[in-house]
């Protein structure tokens, strides 16, 4: 799958990008918070979020685009859930309809537009706050479809370990700008915590899975870095 093809309704994606010419995207706590606020505004209404991490000059997001019939027309919160199966079970969303007719014509337009709104809004904020001009993100933003539960689990692990991989933290518990702490918490969240934990059976297995070093060579095509 191309890393630039249109987002489709009812599909799960690894969405990632970095600053243009390795520009830093986040310079202070307020920048991270602003990005997450804008994400809630533009993306929560059309997607279920499973995992994310924000680093100094790039980010990774694992999200499932909702079916067109359940995307909220007024861009407010709506719900969907995942089905769980064996390691190589195709990743699907329960209760989602096959696109047909007008829905098929609209496939990919609304989700891609919402992500563009997010990045454009954040770039405007960042440029004004930090006195810069011009583009902030590499374009187009990258996206890779996640088709199996094995990929899903490996990608959740990869996303949460990204701060350690790049030397920003010694342990995933030390990095506050990822979904790991949210998933192991019991506090209310828009993140699809129970869905994610379901792919690992329970919270204990989720933590154990993250504590072991794993070979990620089979998902190299889902990674930002070469």
The domains of the chain, with CATH numbers, are: 12-219 (3.30.70.1290)
- The whole-chain average pLDDT of the chain stands at 82
Residue 4 has pLDDT above 90, yes or no: no
The whole-angstrom separation of Cα 118 and Cα 43 is: 8
When mean pLDDT is compared across 31-40, 42-51, 65-74, the lowest value belongs to 65-74
Burial zone of 40 (CB within 10 Å; 0-12 exposed, 13-18 middle, 19+ buried): middle
Residue 102 has pLDDT above 60, yes or no: no
Only one residue has tokens 């969240």, namely: 189
Which two three-digit tokens encode residue 225?
């870095």
For 70-90, what is each residue's pLDDT tens digit?
A: 565 544 333 332 223 334 444
Which two three-digit tokens encode residue 189?
């969240």
Q: Nearest-CA neighbor of 146 among 48, 15, 54?
A: 15
pLDDT category at 223 given cuts 50, 70, 90 is low
For 131-177, what is each residue's pLDDT tens digit?
A: 999 999 998 999 999 999 999 999 999 999 999 999 999 999 999 99
Task: Report the sign of the C-alpha dihedral through residues 214, 215, 221, 224, in that order.
Answer: positive
Which two three-digit tokens encode residue 3?
């890393």
Question: Cis link prior to 140 (omega < 30° from 0)?
Answer: yes
Helices (H), 91-148: 102-106, 109-130
What count of other Cβ atoms lies within 10 Å of the Cβ of residue 92?
16
In the predicted model, what is the mean pLDDT of residues 193-219? 88
The whole-angstrom separation of Cα 205 and Cα 198 is: 10
């Amino acid at each position: 799958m191309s890393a630039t093809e249109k987002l489709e309704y009812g599909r799960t994606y690894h969405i990632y990008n970095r600053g243009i010419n390795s520009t830093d995207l986040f310079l202070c706590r307020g920048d991270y918070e602003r990005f997450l606020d804008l994400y809630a505004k533009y993306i929560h209404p059309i997607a279920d979020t499973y995992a994310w991490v924000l680093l100094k000059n790039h980010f990774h997001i694992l999200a499932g685009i909702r079916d067109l019939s359940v995307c909220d027309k007024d861009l407010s919160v709506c719900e969907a859930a995942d089905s769980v199966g064996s390691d190589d079970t195709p990743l699907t969303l329960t209760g989602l309809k096959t696109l047909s007719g007008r829905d098929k014509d609209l496939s990919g337009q609304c989700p891609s537009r919402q992500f563009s709104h997010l990045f454009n809004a954040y770039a405007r904020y960042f440029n004004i706050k930090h006195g810069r001009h011009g583009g902030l993100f590499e374009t187009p933003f990258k996206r890779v479809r996640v088709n199996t539960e094995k990929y899903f689990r490996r990608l959740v692990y990869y996303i949460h370990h990204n701060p350690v991989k790049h030397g920003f933290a010694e342990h995933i518990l030390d990095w506050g700008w990822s979904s790991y702490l949210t998933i192991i918490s019991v506090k209310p969240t828009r993140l699809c915590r129970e869905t994610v934990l379901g792919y690992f059976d329970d919270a204990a297995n989720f933590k154990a899975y993250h504590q072991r070093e794993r070979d990620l060579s089979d998902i190299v095509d889902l990674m930002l870095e070469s």
